[in-house]
A and B are shown apart, each in its own frame.
Chain A
């Protein structure tokens, strides 16, 4: 754990140094929230820098929406503070905070045209008509909806409605933009397209943004940084690359991307997994005999057929191909590792695959993915005997997963 933290904080500090030039736009300090006796948020802390996009990633019920609503002022925290550009706004009602919320349903006013919707924030601030018209024109151009200005929200597509919702908040120059599951209501194609569009738009207007999503792909693409939220706690916060390649625990590893997890024990700077001994990273610091988990991504596994190139230096064991699945850009291979079958053992006996094999100590299924060229160059079929090599992995202490907190009396 220490090793991981050290590594992560090292990386974080370096990226912090890059961000330190930009002032903090939004700061959430020690926020917790209870609904009745159930605790939904515990000690949430994070900063969003000027112009930065932070993604709060978590399963439904993780409390991510509550964080957003607390920042917006639609919900009061039990403890803690919300600061916007250095000002404590915790006690301010939503209308005095000046944050822009893009609701999941967009919440456009149905009886107002596109331009009325966009000008609403300025109208209620009693700005001059000329100023309102100029701002609305500017924003309509920005979100490319000039020809739709006289339409009503019900006459627009989902993507267009979302752009109106963004323009409506930009009109009053918000302190921060909060997106609540912005692409939840759209189909997969539109989603991808809009993600890029919003990312480009945010870069143009340079307003800090907080996104909420349960979609890891979306999180990786939208966020300058990602905060993984689980049961009201921030498990990890960092750049997409940091969080993906150095997850601090099993939850993060499995929630953000797919991960294979093998149980092991530390033996003199090696991890013993079955009969395989895998050398620890230089920076990893574990005691002898400590139980650990070996975490690796499917794309970090390379499979070699025995007899072909032979096992690589990073071979952990041999296994048998159970299923191969072609899923578009890559091939997914399920391999049942047999730890009694070490890498150096070069026998060429026939292996028989039985589907009824009970999950034993020495046998464990893992998932590997291979890019298409590799999959075509070396075809694998069910029952093939392969050597399993790891190009990269993370070692985590064997800790019990976070439990849902019992209601406090």
Chain B
């Protein structure tokens, strides 16, 4: 019976499944991703670009954006260098506890960010395990820009490492051996042979880390103290202004952050060929 009924799929060579499945995909993403993003732009610009610009140029808003960029930059710089070093050690040497270290490095992504911030407070806070000895010396780590960097480092810890390590693992040892027999020192080999092969991984690792750090909220709100104009990052600013009912102020920063992440991921996506060039 079924063989007599013509199938729906191919109607005179036209594949119905193709436009249908693409349509379903876009339709499903509409309320989940597209519309929320679109709302930011619709609301943010609904009262005209001048009021958007004024909201953006508020001193506290500019400070929050700057603070986010600076703290994310230092966290990224540290995590890329550390990730490079950790990937080198963990792919070159085999030792007892190596796998345990790899798991530990990867752990921070799995920990809720609020827990991460809380953990940092328990260590560095005025009554924390280390903090209680530092506080009498007048050294205050929490509720400063330094605390934001620490929190950013913690939550983005494995990102650069995770991108760089696989490249190390697949890199042929004979390249470095060849360089040595040609007469290069370890440093020359690293600089001329190893590093160029890691270029793509380093750049994409850095972009990922930076994007993640700029958006960090959960841990930052715990460790920074959320002091406007002093330790308030861009995501905290959005939250604070929203609570105060200043939707426009929150919205202006939200647009900037959304555009910013859009930019980073476009670079990651479209520069893929350049990043992976062999």
Contacts and interface: CB of A to CB of B under 8 A. Distances in A.
Interface of A: 72-74, 93-101, 103-105, 107, 109-112, 120-121, 123-125, 152, 154, 168-169, 172
A109 B196 CA distance: 9
A154 B278 contact: yes
A99 to B, nearest CB: 6
18 contacts: A73-B180, A73-B181, A94-B177, A94-B180, A95-B184, A96-B183, A107-B175, A110-B197, A111-B197, A111-B277, A112-B196, A124-B182, A124-B184, A124-B185, A124-B188, A169-B182, A172-B182, A172-B183
A258 to B, nearest CB: 34
Q: How would you classify the secondary structure of chain B's contact residues: helix, strand, loop or mixed?
A: helix
Given A94-B177, A103-B177, A111-B196, 17 more contacts: A95-B180, A95-B181, A96-B183, A99-B181, A100-B182, A101-B181, A103-B178, A107-B172, A107-B175, A107-B178, A109-B192, A110-B197, A111-B199, A111-B278, A121-B182, A124-B183, A169-B182
Interface in B178-229: 178-185, 188, 192-193, 196-197, 199
A207 to B, nearest CB: 14
A72 B180 CA distance: 10
Contacts of B177: 74, 94, 101, 103, 107
Contacts of A99: 181
B96 to A, nearest CB: 17
B182 A168 contact: yes
B21 interface: no
A109 B177 CA distance: 11
A103 B278 contact: no
Interface in B77-126: none
Interface in B147-175: 172, 174-175
Contacts of B197: 110-111
A107 B189 CA distance: 13
Contacts of B180: 73-74, 93-95
Nearest to B177: A74
Interface residues of B, number: 20
Contacts of A112: 196
A93 to B, nearest CB: 7
Contacts of B193: 109
A98 B183 CA distance: 7
Nearest to B173: A107
B183 A107 contact: no
Nearest to B195: A111
Contacts of A152: 278
Nearest to B175: A107
A74 B172 CA distance: 15
B175 A109 contact: yes
A165 to B, nearest CB: 8
Contacts of A169: 181-182
B174 A121 contact: no
A311 B188 CA distance: 72
Nearest to B198: A111
A105 B181 contact: no
Contacts of A103: 174, 177-178
A123 B191 CA distance: 13
Contacts of A97: 181
A119 B94 CA distance: 34
A96 B182 CA distance: 9
B151 to A, nearest CB: 36
A172 B174 CA distance: 19
Best-surrounded residue of B178, B182, B193 (most CB of chain A within 10 A):
B182
Nearest to A169: B182
A101 B197 CA distance: 21
Given A74-B177, A105-B174, A124-B184, A110 B278 contact: yes
A111 B167 CA distance: 14
Best-surrounded residue of A100, A110, A112, A154 (most CB of chain B within 10 A):
A110
A95 B188 CA distance: 11
A26 to B, nearest CB: 14
Best-surrounded residue of B178, B188, B197, B199 (most CB of chain A within 10 A):
B178
Best-surrounded residue of A120, A154, A169 (most CB of chain B within 10 A):
A120
Contacts of A172: 182-183
Given A74-B180, A124-B183, A125-B183, A107 B192 contact: no
Given A110-B197, A121-B183, A154-B278, A101 B178 contact: yes
Interchain residue pairs A-B with the least CB separation, the first 8:
A107-B178, A111-B196, A107-B174, A94-B180, A101-B181, A121-B182, A103-B174, A124-B184
A120 B192 contact: yes
Contact of A124 (B172, B192, B199, B278): B192
Contacts of B278: 110-111, 152, 154
